A = this chain, B = another copy of it.
Amino acid sequence: MSGTNSERKLIAEGPAIVLVEPQLGENIGMVARAMANFGLAELRIVNPRDGWPSEKARSAAAKADHVIDGTKVYETLEEAIKDLNFVYATTARERYGFKPVRSPVVAAETLRGRFKAGEKTGILFGRERWGLTNEEVALADEIVTFPVNPAFASLNIAQAVLLMSYEWMKSGLDDLSETTFQPVEQRPSTKEQVFGLFEHLEEALDARGYFHPPAKKPKMIDNLRAVISRRGFTEQEISVFRGVINSLDRFPRRWSKQNRAGEPGAALGEAAGNDADE
């Protein structure tokens, strides 16, 4: 989905993403892209199987060049995280141990809090095939795991990075219902505008004998008003409706002479009248 706007500020802050012995350049590139999508920029790689730099990574990064260009490569995980204050290890497998296990939401909130306090943080992601070793997990402060389908829990590293990056971005929002754009603002209609719509419609229908038999007219009007006003109108909607009524009320059909010869208005009125009467 497109929507990138290069004139807008590029967000690039937050925890370092640390990939331990990733195998495929494509995966590293997709990680970089996912990071850029959600405002992360610091990528560290421990001992990438196919070396670095990687043209496959750059290509898969889909223009997240600022992440690829800034990527640092290390020989050991200890080197890669030695300047950090707090580190999460990601895992899908259950680990037997004493380390706290957090959900992505809680982990992202923790990382956001530490970021605001000036700490340097990181998130470790393991190899494509078998994740992190127990020794690597032991270097982290806490574990983060994803709420996956137990019978289908295999996430690739780019997906895992995407989810953590997304939760990181969300942890910076004041309100989880916040969206980057809003619908065109619409003013709610006043009751006077609603009554004007009712009267307009009812007069046009009355002129065609819609309210039949006359004794049922009050009940039919009640039903009609209930149906058309159930969700509340905006000013714009009232205006659209009145245009529609005007068109149906005042102008003959242009394109079908055959229909003009019949009496579709009366027939429709009667059918609708029967419905409203039940």
Contacts and interface: CB of A to CB of B under 8 A. Distances in A.
Contacts of A153: 1-5, 37, 180
29 contacts: A1-B93, A1-B131, A1-B154, A3-B93, A3-B153, A4-B154, A5-B151, A10-B149, A10-B151, A36-B152, A37-B155, A38-B148, A38-B149, A62-B154, A64-B152, A96-B184, A98-B183, A98-B234, A98-B236, A101-B182, A101-B183, A102-B177, A103-B179, A145-B179, A145-B180, A147-B173, A150-B180, A153-B180, A159-B159
Instruction: Say whether chain A's binding surface is mostly helix, strand, loop, or mixed.
Output: loop
A2 B64 contact: no
A186 interface: yes
Interface string A134-153: 00000000010111111111
A159 B162 contact: yes
B5 A178 contact: no
Interface in A219-278: 234, 236
B155 A1 contact: yes
A95 interface: yes
A172 to B, nearest CB: 9
A34 interface: yes
Contact of A106 (B7, B176, B182): B176
A102 B179 contact: yes
Contacts of A154: 1-4, 33, 37, 62
A166 interface: yes
Given A159-B37, A159-B162, A183-B101, A3 B177 contact: no
Contact of A147 (B10, B63, B143, B180): B180
Nearest to A169: B147
Q: How many copies does the complex hold?
A: 2
Interface string A85-107: 00000111111111111110110
Interface string A1-38: 11111111111000000000000000000000110111
Interface of A: 1-11, 33-34, 36-39, 62-64, 90-103, 105-106, 125-126, 129-131, 143, 145-157, 159-160, 162-163, 166, 169-170, 173, 176-184, 186, 234, 236
A179 B130 contact: no
Given A2-B154, A146-B166, A159-B162, 7 more contacts: A2-B153, A5-B150, A10-B151, A37-B154, A102-B177, A146-B180, A159-B159
